[in-house]
Amino acid sequence: MSLKAFEMSPKGTVIELDEILSNVKYDKDGLVAAIAQQHDTKEVLMLAYMNEKSIRETLETGQVCYWSRSRQTYWRKGESSGHRQSLVSMAFDCDGDAILLQVDQKGPACHTNRRDCFFFEVKDGQVIVESDPQ
Amino acid sequence: MSLKAFEMSPKGTVIELDEILSNVKYDKDGLVAAIAQQHDTKEVLMLAYMNEKSIRETLETGQVCYWSRSRQTYWRKGESSGHRQSLVSMAFDCDGDAILLQVDQKGPACHTNRRDCFFFEVKDGQVIVESDPQ
């Protein structure tokens, strides 16, 4: 099955979390893309990956936990830097291959100490660095 | 090389688009995740995938073109439905494995005819469908 089974459900339909989590379209590494958006300003901060265990931990603790593909380990955002991401809400998309996290990001989200990760912006056929690393 | 070579560059640094595109961290299928955000309301509409050719086409035409993983073909958003996505701006993230598209979405972005794809929202340990399909 997949989340497609539920996609035409009307507003207000209640689905068990386990039902959703077992039908998320994880990739071959068991991962799903997760977008972090600052809940009040609506800026998109970053994109990272979660597995089922990190999704559950995030919901239980209220602190966002990803799976780091480069380090191959759980990545509790801000654990070393102090730049923590608190979870405000979590939503899955229509076909279960993406997650949108509304978060409250303390300080910079990017490892370059910029507020967000999307600082290489295309302008007039070139790319401009849009903010300074700190 | 990777975009990491440019990540500590100061604001205003200009990089050739070809330099960026050849250093995007495409996956084994040649794809990179792309987030579409409505440029004025800042709602996150959807997440899909692009390859280098669809990125170039999007920049050239100003109409967003993805690669459909399910149909294994180019997916010119709205070509059949009329629900087109016009590009407002495009940005790459710090390590070149995600793209943020600011778009102007005509009508619904989701194939269920909802405005956005993230309608399975976690609330109190369950998942609630947050909007009606049209």
A28 touches chain B (CB under 8 A): no
Strands ordered across the beta sheet of A32-38: A14-16, B126-129, B120-123, A85-92, A98-105, A32-38, A44-50
* Predicted complex: ipTM over 0.95: yes
pTM of model > 0.95:
yes
Amino acid present at A116: D
Q: For strand B32-38 and strand B98-105, is the pairing parallel, antiparallel, or unpaired?
A: parallel
What does the pLDDT look like over A18-58, one tens digit per residue? 999 999 999 999 999 999 999 999 999 999 999 999 999 99
Rounded to a whole number of angstroms, the distance from the CA of B89 to the nearest CA of chain A is 7
pLDDT cut 90: percent of chain A above it: 94
How far A97 CA sits from the closest chain B CA (Å)? Answer: 9
> Residues B15, B24: contact at Cβ < 8 Å?
no
CATH code of the domain made up of B25-129 = 3.10.20.810
pLDDT value of position B4? 85
Q: Does A20 touch chain B (CB under 8 A)?
A: yes
Compute the average pLDDT of residues B105-114. 96
Model confidence at B30, in pLDDT bands (50, 70, 90)? very high
Give A-chain residues touching B22 at CB under 8 angstroms.
none
Contacts of B129 in chain A (CB under 8 A): 6, 9-13, 15
Place of tokens 């009307």: A10
**Mean pLDDT across the stretch B89-96?**
97
Q: Say if residues B97 and B33 touch (Cβ distance below 8 Å).
A: yes
B88 touches chain A (CB under 8 A): no
> Does the CB of A1 have a partner CB in chain B at under 8 Å?
no
A93 touches chain B (CB under 8 A): yes
Q: Quick one: pLDDT band at residue A123, thresholds 50, 70, 90?
A: very high
Say whether A100 and B118 touch across the interface (CB within 8 A). yes
- Report in angstroms the alpha-carbon separations of B9 from A43, A128, A132, B54: 22, 10, 7, 27
- Is there a contact between B111 and A94 if contact means CB atoms under 8 Å apart? yes
DSSP secondary structure string, A23-49?
TS---TTS-EEEEEEETTT--EEEEEE
Q: What is the pLDDT of residues B68-83, one digit of tens each?
A: 999 999 999 999 999 9
